[in-house]
Every structure is written in structure tokens, then in C-alpha cells.
Amino acid sequence: MHVHISGFVQGVGFRYFAMRKAIALNLTGWVRNCVTGEVEVFAEGERNVLEKFLANLKDGPGNARVLDTKTKWEEASKKYDSFEIR
């Protein structure tokens, strides 16, 4: 799953929030801030678990305000063995 999250999502702990949720759900991949002000997430795992993670991302941490998410479902690369902040 590849997601771009826009809104008030930088400077509010969004990457750490995403990492904690992903690790709790046993997902692999990464999260990073983009120069556009968005947060980008790439996560791999079971589809139903990824959908739960996506719901978490749409809510975001308490100080964030998610305005939009753009999600692409892709084939898993299976090259990640953990979830990290980039």
C-alpha cells in the first residue's frame, strides 16, 4: 500500500504515530515527510491489516488534521523486514 497524506501532517508527530501503528500491526515498510508538505507511507502486509492501518492514517495523531489520502494498492516487494522512518 502506497499512501500520500495531506493536510496539517508535518510537525505533529505523524511519522512516529505511523511507525508505532505499523509496528503494532506487524507491517513492514517506511514513512517519510515530503517537500510538498505531505507524508508518504509505503506499507506491506495482509490486505485486511493494511486497511486497518489506513484507517489509522486517515485519523492521524491528535494534533494532525488529515484533509486527504491518496492510496495505491501495489504488489508487495517483500524487501522490507521492519518499518522505519526515512
**What are the tens digits of pLDDT across the range 24-54?**
999 999 999 999 999 999 999 999 999 999 9
The pTM (predicted TM-score) of the whole model is 0.94
Q: Is 26 a catalytic residue?
A: no
Helical (H) or strand (E) element with 48 = helix 47-59
DSSP 3-state assignment of 25? coil
Kindly name the residue from 20, 26, 32, 33 that is annotated as catalytic.
33
**How many other CB atoms are there within 10 angstroms of residue 10's CB atom?**
16
User: Rounded mean pLDDT of 63-67?
Assistant: 97
Catalytic residue from among 15, 32, 47, 86: 15
At the second CATH level, the architecture of 18-77+81-85 is 2-Layer Sandwich (3.30)
Respond yes or no: is residue 33 known to be catalytic: yes
Instruction: Identify the pLDDT of residue 27.
Output: 98
The pLDDT confidence band at residue 78, using thresholds 50, 70 and 90, is confident
CB 1 within 8 A of CB 73: yes
